[in-house]
Each structure stands twice: as structure tokens, then as C-alpha cells.
Structure 1
Amino acid sequence: MKPFIRRKFEAWLILLAAKILIDRNVQRAAVVSRRDNNDMWGMAEQLEAIAKRISTNYP
């Protein structure tokens, strides 16, 4: 049971990081360049995929 809870918790933390990156995505930001904005969006998508694999124990 402990590995199950640990996997779910780690996946949740990764999803939290992805949410922070996606929420940082804005249409017109004076302090974030368009390239950085796009990179953050891509990183968030990759983190979501990683969290899914961790949560399902790498099927």
C-alpha cells in the first residue's frame, strides 16, 4: 500500500508543478517572452505525461 500512496503523491506534486506552469501562460506578458511562454506550456504538457506514467506504475 505504501508504494501506491507514494506514486499517487509524487504524481500529484508533478501535476501541481504543471498547473503552475500552465497558469503562468498569459496572452500578453510584459515580463515573459513569447518563446519562454511557449516553452513553459510544452514543459507542462511533458510533466502531465510523466505524472500519468508514474501514477499508473509505468504500464
Structure 2
Amino acid sequence: MKRFIRRKFEAWLILLAAKILMGRNVHRSPVVSRRDNNDMWAMAEKLEAIAKRISKKYP
């Protein structure tokens, strides 16, 4: 049971990081370049995939 809770919590933290990166996705920002914006979006998608694998116990 302890491992189950730990896995779910770790997956939740990774999803939180992904949501923060996706929240930084801004249109026509003078501060964040388009390339950095696209990179953050791609990182967020990768983090979501990792969180899903952790949560499902790497099937």
C-alpha cells in the first residue's frame, strides 16, 4: 500500500510540473521566445507520459 501511495504521489508531482510548463505557454510573449515556448510544451507532454507510466507501474 505504501508503494501505491508513493507512486501516485510522485506521478501527481510530475503532472503538476507539466501543468506549470503548459501554463507558461503564452502567445506573442516579448519575454519567452517561440522556440523556448515550444520546448516547454514538448517537455510537458513528455512529463505527462512519464507520470502515466509511473502511475500504472510501468506495464
Normalising by structure 2, we get a TM-score of: 0.99
Tell me the equivalent position of 2:53: 53
Structure 2: unaligned runs, 5 residues or longer: none
Identical-pair percentage: 83
Normalising by structure 1, we get a TM-score of: 0.99
**Matched residues, number:** 59
Coordinate RMSD, CA, aligned:
0.3
The runs of 4+ residues in structure 1 deviating greater than 4 Å are none
Structure 1: unaligned runs, 5 residues or longer: none
SS, match of residue 41 in structure 1 = helix
The AA in structure 2 aligned to 1:24 is R
